[in-house]
Chains A and B, each alone.
Chain A
Amino acid sequence: MTITDRPEAAAAAPSAPTVYANPGTAGSVMSFKPRYDNYIGGQYVPPANGQYFQNPSPVTGQVFTEVARGTAPDVDRAVEAGWKAFDAWGKTSVAERAVILNKIADRMEQNLELLAVAETWENGKPVRETLAADIPLAIDHFRYFAGCIRAQEGGISELDQDTVAYHFHEPLGVVGQIIPWNFPILMAVWKLAPALAAGNCIVLKPAEQTPASIHVWLDLIKDLLPAGVLNIVNGFGIEAGAPLASHPKIRKIAFTGETTTGRLIMQYASENLIPVTLELGGKSPNVFFADVADQKDSFYDKALEGFTFFALNQGEVCTCPSRALVQRSIYDGFVADGLDRVAKVKQGNPLDVSTMIGAQASNDQLEKILSYMDIGKQEGAKLLAGGARADLGGELSGGYYVQPTVFEGRNDMRIFQEEIFGPVLALTSFDDYDDAISIANDTLYGLGAGVWSRSGSQLYRAGRAIQAGRVWSNTYHQYPAHAAFGGYKQSGIGRENHRMMLDHYQQTKNLLVSYADGPMGFF
């Protein structure tokens, strides 16, 4: 997820250590609290049932904090707190809200290392990524929507000389947001920033796999938001997520996750007749046309990085380029060079700034990835790299590490069709342009895709032909706030990022005004 800062630049910052100390130990830039309650109405309150669940770090497998096990009464309380705050918050000026969003961004920037280390400890991803991507992107997201809301205008339509239609943007009210565990802070911010900018109040349910880092963020910024504008209820999906998604008093529900839960969210939304936005993942093709290998230059080098991007964030990205399609005429050479690059992916302590691949986010995720490696082998796919759990020794032995893995096979195999959500690449070849597009589109999903070519017209045609909401062209894994992100087909409904995201958090009010002096003449 490269952005403005390059990972090596972040790692080379003069004051930055080469290995960050574990949170809570001597020399660490941050500590987690031993316990996190729910945050409702501007204060931390214990869960209604008094229960907590333990939260392990994927880095070591050891528990580092416990978190409120919220249930329906906590959700009720949070929704109520949201409505109590909404009257005032929904009427704040866009300038006021933009200032608050910018201040949140500034606080985050001042605490970049703290947030990055917290996120790494929570999720297992390398600090190289949290320093250079997760947190800087989240910061920029607040600034982007601060700008958007200031620049947004309503509309005036002059219907005739005496009749005018005014269109105003209004916030929806209290909205529900259910956050995934792969980018706990960034995915929360993708939903929070537009919702807050538009003047909504929020009840947010973090993933139970990664429930704590959002509270580290909240501690930094909570004084900037009026009480009740943002409420966080932790807990399990069935106990806290379902009561939130089905709550009769929320005006919208946003969810990132998988298809079955996505359907359930829509089912609840249909009962309450509220809108949903869903981001449900994909099986993204990464297409390398033959002309990529015309020269062994820096563009070729860039394409090899593109090939290796399946390992970013341990493959736990909805747009993971988990299917590589390489044109047959360059296949052997390009794949050999690609595997060389994969072999150079450094696996290790996620808090070491030189580590490129860290731990999978949870034990069950690790188990699922291993089960897919097993089915890949059974289906007859050829293992070209990796293929097993990685034991990194010492305290990391308890963590959830997987070797970057490459399988060669056919697009109808299950490892080519199902989102493994791990560092597992399914590799195949194609003959020509039509073959490439056909294989690329032979999937249930359509979230992301990559196309690599030196020919501008080929790049353009392929990008338009692939049925996916985001086609990276001669790049991959860039997530600027200013580019719309969302899926075709079973990858979901609606978009995130970009100004258009405001539409998902706003109601349109039309005032239809007659300035005519006399009656219309019907009666």
Chain B
Amino acid sequence: MPDRLTTDGAGVSAPAPFGAPSRVDVTDAAADMLRHLAETNGQLMFHQSGGCCDGSSPMCYPVGMFRVGASDILLGTLHVEGTYPIDVYMSKSQFEYWKYTHLTIDIVDGRGSGFSIEAPEGKRFLIRSRMLDDRELEAFGLATHGAV
């Protein structure tokens, strides 16, 4: 089973309390696409890819298509109105280098990527990143390391 990152010990499968720090977010445009994809694919999930070509991109799959495992970490869950909760995973080894950044899933015009399901729509999910702020670093137990 993948590890779950928690901020309050209660897990992240329920919507975080308003204002609680989260590692992942989604833009309105990406949320629209997720709603559209969920209509035909049911519950969705993301796995952040690494490596060449279409790597370093978030891959979107129907739940059950991609097997997450003990090498993965659950970064957080997106709550998009009209869909089931959407878990966002990454491999633990990759997370070591990503842990100081907050990720927002966006969408751009694109032409395919791995087996991610949005490709036939002519769109591509994309990660926008920002450094965690002091409050988030504190909440995630990273404050002593500093962000930069």
Q: A residues touching B (Cβ–Cβ < 8 Å)? A: 53, 56, 69, 180-182, 207-209, 236-239, 241-242, 256-264, 267, 279-282, 316, 318, 362-364, 367-368, 371-372, 374-375, 378-380, 412, 414, 417-421, 444-445, 490-491
Contact = CB atoms under 8 A, between A and B. Distances in A.
B70 to A, nearest CB: 13
B112 A421 contact: no
Contact of A421 (B53, B67, B93, B130): B53
Most chain B beta-carbon neighbours within 10 Å: one of A362, A364, A417: A364
Contacts of B117: 238
Max chain A Cβ within 10 angstroms of own Cβ: one of B110, B113, B131, B148: B113
Nearest to A318: B52
Interface in B30-78: 47-57, 59, 65-67
A368 B57 contact: yes
A186 B52 CA distance: 16
A379 B57 CA distance: 19
Contacts of A281: 50-53, 55
B97 A412 contact: yes
Interface stretch (B17-25, B79-87, B121-129, B135-143): B121-129
A256 B116 CA distance: 15
Nearest to A445: B51
A490 B93 contact: yes
A257 B51 contact: yes
B51 A364 contact: no
Given A263-B66, A267-B66, A421 B52 contact: yes
B48 A260 contact: yes
Contacts, number: 160
B131 A257 contact: no
Shortest 7 CB-CB distances between A and B: which pairs?
Answer: A281-B52, A364-B110, A258-B55, A281-B51, A260-B49, A208-B112, A261-B114
Tell me which of A236, A280, A318, A362 has the highest count of chain B C-beta atoms within 10 A of its own C-beta. A236
B39 to A, nearest CB: 16
A261 B60 CA distance: 11
B27 interface: no
Task: Tell me which of B53, B55, B56, B101 has the highest count of chain A C-beta atoms within 10 A of its own C-beta.
Answer: B53
Contacts of A69: 120
B53 A362 contact: no
A269 to B, nearest CB: 13
Given A414-B98, A417-B97, A237 B51 contact: no
A445 B49 CA distance: 13
B112 A259 contact: no
12 contacts: A56-B111, A182-B53, A208-B119, A237-B114, A267-B67, A318-B53, A364-B109, A368-B56, A375-B130, A414-B97, A419-B56, A444-B50
Which interface class (under 10, 10 to 19, 20 to 34, 35 or more) fits B? 35 or more
A135 to B, nearest CB: 20
Contact of A236 (B47, B112, B148): B112
Nearest to B148: A380
B108 interface: yes
A262 B59 CA distance: 12
Nearest to B120: A236
Given A371-B127, A419-B56, A490 B116 contact: no
A237 B119 contact: yes
Contacts of B120: 53, 69, 236, 238-239
Contacts of A56: 111
Nearest to A417: B97
A378 B129 contact: yes
Contacts of B59: 260-261
A363 B50 contact: no
Contacts of A374: 128-129
Given A363-B110, A418-B56, A490 B119 contact: no
Contacts of B116: 237-238
A143 B93 CA distance: 41
Given A238-B119, A261-B59, A378-B131, A363 B108 contact: yes
Nearest to A442: B97
Contacts of B126: 364, 367-368, 371
Nearest to B90: A260
- Of A53, A181, A264, A380, chain B has the most CB atoms within 10 Å of the CB of A264
B129 A421 contact: no
Contact of B115 (A207, A237, A279): A237
B53 to A, nearest CB: 5
Contact of B51 (A182, A239, A262, A363): A262
Contact of B101 (A208, A237, A238, A375): A375
Nearest to A51: B120
Contacts of A368: 56-57, 126
A260 B114 contact: yes
B129 A259 contact: no
Contacts of B112: 207-209, 236-237
Contact of A209 (B98, B111, B127): B111
A77 to B, nearest CB: 20
A426 B65 CA distance: 35
Contacts of B148: 379-380
A186 B41 CA distance: 35
Contacts of A180: 52-53
Given A180-B53, A281-B52, A367-B126, A264 B66 contact: yes
A362 to B, nearest CB: 5
Contact of A260 (B47, B108, B111, B131): B47
Contacts of B113: 237, 364
A362 B56 contact: no
A236 B119 contact: yes
B40 to A, nearest CB: 12
A273 to B, nearest CB: 16
